[in-house]
Chains A and B, each alone.
Chain A
Amino acid sequence: MLFSKLFVLYVLLVLFRSPLFAADVPDLEERTREIASELRCVVCQNLSVADSPSEMAQQMRAIVREQVQAGKTAEQIQDFFVSKYGEWVLLKPKTTGFSALLWILPYVVLVIGVIAALLFVRRIAARKKLAKESTVPAPISDQTRSELLRQDIEIPDIEDNSSRAELLRERARLRSELTELDFDYQSGKLSEPDYQALKRDVEAKGAGVIQQLTALPAKTVTPATAKAARVKSVKDAPAPSRFRSWQIVTGGVFLLLFGLALGVMLTKSIRPRQGENDTMTGDFMTGTAPANSEAGAALAEGKQAFSRQEFPKAIEALKKVLATDPDNPEAHSYMGFILMQAGHGDGALLAFDKALSRAPNFPMALWGRGMVLYQDKKDFAGAREVFERLLKLVPPGEERNEVAKVLAEIPTTSGMPKPSSAVAPAATPSGQTISGKITIDAKLKDKIDPQAALFIIARSAAGATGPPLAVKKIDNPTFPLNYSLSQENVMMQGTPFTGKINIVVRLDKDGNPTTRGAGDLIGEYKNNPAEVGTKNADVILDQVMQ
């Protein structure tokens, strides 16, 4: 009995309580979503808090949910966020205060537009009416009428095809038509309004013919000259303009200003992206620093040329950047790397110092300065100081590990670097090489230049944009060619030949490592990056530089 009562109670609970309970959760989520969809995410600013996947939006959603649960209204929750972030946080601006303008203005513009459209339509209708009225021919003067009805008119020869003859015949025809009209009217065949309308029409035509006859020279003219004269008269007549001068001036000025606004603003705000994390508007839209689109484009060009090892081209582009933005830290840093690679330690140091004078924490310049002090100047204390500073600026990650690694290698006292980073080939473990075979694609064999030099280029997979890690040059190569790269081929003394490395091979026609020209053959290890120790990093030269 007790069991059956409990069962009934359970069934009632299931039937009545559960649906209510179940309805609470979706309602809370729906309400949260509804309110969050009205709030702007502070990270992805064009998305609502409801739609943004960012961590901050998640935290904001949690706050919304908490406040909904606490029984706050949508308005109270919105007010809370407005009190923290300002009205910026609302995707729909408020309808009060200054924001009310945003709501009112479109309607004001709409009303003005409708009124303007109505006025325009009215004006067009008035013009059409006027035009229609003006098509009714005006009564001609008595003098013209008597001229048209004159009896002693000249009758042209029947074979005369000149325009004068044609006009004379037309005048005779109109005269007779007018006489017939008079006769019909007098005989009651035509009503007064019809007679008047037709008479005005014929008289107008007649007046036109008489006017043309008066304008013609007395002598007989040939049809060809008459036609030419007609064409000329049409050409000489000024074409009636559809617009008034003030409208043309206003339109012109507006177009000029609009063009200037677009030309100046857009070219300033849009530029080529300079990296993965860069935006096409650069600093212009964020206002953090004056941006120069020309300098930005030149910098991008310089960086690309640098990464392709086209150093003369890179220098040209970087010079362009420095001509417009003399303190550009990135341009100075790249200049520094190029000078460093060319063995000009002092020049490189100067370039890095220039970059650091503008941006004291610029990581690239700090890295370059540290390397010059360490490798070229053997100023280990100075290099340590720079790398320690850089280490503090770089967030944890691969780049930071790289800095830490170099820092660990720098001796604490003056002298040569630690043996671990020694560059002597003897110190290199025998396994620390990458070797393989270089062949040429059968289709490209006829493109081999006998004077060409082969460059085997190794780049660290971690720092793909910097200078190459190691390069080996082979003059007058014969294929297939076995190669190996090791510590002795590294470009900067002391840099360890370790880790994952991208192998690229180029058969350079002019033998100059800093230029890449059309006709050079290139290829890369198909499983790039290769781990140091790989013995079959084979490369096929299968592409031709365009």
Chain B
Amino acid sequence: MPWRRLIISFVIIAPILALLAFGFTRDAKYITSPLLAKPATPFSVTLFEGKNITLEDLRGKAVFLNFWASWCAPCRAEAHDLEAAWQRVKDKNMIFLGVALQDSDQASRDFLKEFNVTYPNGKDESGKIAVDYGTWGIPESFFIDPQGRITYKHVGGIRAALVLSKLEEAAKSIASAQEGRGDYQGVR
């Protein structure tokens, strides 16, 4: 009889303790995106050079979409890698698109000039594109396949090698099961 009661007590207490322990191991700040393997939300962005570009225009290409800001240190850390990766794929059926958010026009332009960024970049004036893509920690990168489906998401700084391999996967419409993580900075 006492042993039965002891076991019942443990059955009640153990899950409570397990829940407590699980809670401690979780990153409370991290927001897991529900967008993986889902169709990318259409958008239209005005590039710094004045031209307008929509996601529909990029249909048929593997797209690397990167959200950044000039005040974000991890964005600065990855800038060279992104440009290097772009130089490797610019002649393939792949496209890079940078979207600056929560930034001044001049600061964004200075950033692009400083890092000699040559791929198309525009500004999300209203923040709507950022919300459409569930952005919360920048830099955030999305890989979109030629059919317009998100195949991979990476929160934080990303290296050129990973950009290239995930773009190859996007070109083949291979979606990743999990999103990637690097050093990130919260949006403002």
Q: Given A86-B34, A88-B32: A265 and B128 within 8 A (CB)?
A: no
Closest to A363 in B: B73
- A59→B115 contact, CB < 8 A: no
- A392→B33 contact, CB < 8 A: no
- A258→B17 contact, CB < 8 A: yes
- B114→A392 contact, CB < 8 A: yes
Say yes or no: is B31 at the interface (Cβ < 8 Å to chain A). Answer: yes
Q: Given A59-B127, A392-B79, A396-B107: A43 and B187 within 8 A (CB)?
A: yes
| The stretch of A245-253, A339-347, A529-537 that contacts the partner chain | A245-253
CA distance A253 to B136 in the complex (A): 42
Chain A, range 238-265, C-beta contacts under 8 Å to B? 244-247, 249-250, 253-254, 257-258, 261, 265
Q: Given A261-B17, A285-B27, A392-B80: A245 and B2 within 8 A (CB)?
A: yes
- A287→B34 contact, CB < 8 A: no
- B13→A63 contact, CB < 8 A: no
Closest to A279 in B: B29
Chain B, range 145-188, C-beta contacts under 8 Å to A? 183, 186-188
Q: Given A86-B32, A286-B27, A393-B73: A42 and B128 within 8 A (CB)?
A: no
Q: Given A59-B127, A254-B9, A261-B17: A244 and B107 within 8 A (CB)?
A: no
- B188→A55 contact, CB < 8 A: yes
CA distance A4 to B26 in the complex (A): 73
- A265→B21 contact, CB < 8 A: yes
Say yes or no: is B70 at the interface (Cβ < 8 Å to chain A). Answer: yes
CA distance A56 to B126 in the complex (A): 10
Q: Given A393-B73, A393-B76: A56 and B34 within 8 A (CB)?
A: no
Of the candidates A54, A82, A245, A287, the one having the most CB atoms from chain B within 10 angstroms of its own CB is A287
**A469-482 vs B: 1/0 string, CB under 8 Å?**
00000000000000
A250 to chain B: which residues have CB within 8 Å? 5-6, 9-10
- A63→B5 contact, CB < 8 A: no
Say yes or no: is A135 at the interface (Cβ < 8 Å to chain B). Answer: no
CA distance A4 to B72 in the complex (A): 65
Closest chain B CB from A105 CB (angstroms):
10
CA distance A62 to B128 in the complex (A): 9
CA distance A54 to B127 in the complex (A): 12
Closest to B71 in A: A395
Q: Identify whether the interface residues of A are mostly helix, strand, loop, or mixed.
A: helix
- B77→A287 contact, CB < 8 A: no
CA distance A89 to B33 in the complex (A): 11
- B31→A395 contact, CB < 8 A: no
A393 to chain B: which residues have CB within 8 Å? 73, 76-77
Closest chain B CB from A34 CB (angstroms):
19
Q: Given A56-B102, A265-B20, A392-B80: A249 and B6 within 8 A (CB)?
A: yes
Closest to B115 in A: A392
Q: Given A84-B133, A246-B6: A42 and B31 within 8 A (CB)?
A: yes
CA distance A257 to B5 in the complex (A): 18
CA distance A54 to B136 in the complex (A): 12
Q: Given A249-B6, A261-B21: A392 and B76 within 8 A (CB)?
A: yes
Closest to A359 in B: B183
Closest chain B CB from A282 CB (angstroms):
12
Chain B, range 72-131, C-beta contacts under 8 Å to A? 72-73, 76-77, 79-80, 102, 107, 110, 114-115, 126-128, 130-131
Closest chain B CB from A511 CB (angstroms):
42
Say yes or no: is A76 at the interface (Cβ < 8 Å to chain B). Answer: no
- A246→B133 contact, CB < 8 A: no
Chain B, range 1-46, C-beta contacts under 8 Å to A? 2-3, 5-6, 9-10, 13, 17, 20-21, 24-35
CA distance A392 to B78 in the complex (A): 10
CA distance A269 to B23 in the complex (A): 12
A254 to chain B: which residues have CB within 8 Å? 9, 13
- A60→B131 contact, CB < 8 A: yes
CA distance A82 to B32 in the complex (A): 11
- A286→B32 contact, CB < 8 A: no
CA distance A88 to B35 in the complex (A): 13
CA distance A393 to B128 in the complex (A): 28
Chain A, range 100-141, C-beta contacts under 8 Å to B? none
A258 to chain B: which residues have CB within 8 Å? 17
CA distance A287 to B31 in the complex (A): 13
Say yes or no: is B134 at the interface (Cβ < 8 Å to chain A). Answer: yes
Say yes or no: is A18 at the interface (Cβ < 8 Å to chain B). Answer: no
- B131→A63 contact, CB < 8 A: yes
Say yes or no: is B132 at the interface (Cβ < 8 Å to chain A). Answer: yes
- B114→A59 contact, CB < 8 A: no
B25 to chain A: which residues have CB within 8 Å? 287
- B34→A83 contact, CB < 8 A: yes
CA distance A63 to B127 in the complex (A): 9
- A42→B27 contact, CB < 8 A: no
B127 to chain A: which residues have CB within 8 Å? 55-56, 59-60, 62
Q: Given A60-B131, A287-B26: A246 and B187 within 8 A (CB)?
A: no
Of the candidates B27, B114, B131, the one having the most CB atoms from chain A within 10 angstroms of its own CB is B131
B35 to chain A: which residues have CB within 8 Å? 84
CA distance A323 to B95 in the complex (A): 47
CA distance A82 to B35 in the complex (A): 10
The 3 residue pairs across chains A and B that have the minimum distance between CB atoms: A59-B127, A246-B2, A42-B136
User: Beyond A56-B127, A286-B28: 8 further Cβ-contacts under 8 Å?
Assistant: A45-B28, A55-B187, A62-B127, A84-B34, A84-B35, A250-B10, A286-B30, A395-B71
> Can you report 7 residue pairs joining A to B where beta carbons are below 8 Å apart?
A42-B31, A55-B102, A253-B10, A261-B21, A286-B28, A286-B29, A288-B27
Q: Which residues of A contact B (CB under 8 A)?
A: 42-43, 45, 54-56, 59-60, 62-63, 81-86, 88-89, 244-247, 249-250, 253-254, 257-258, 261, 265, 268-269, 284-288, 361, 392-396
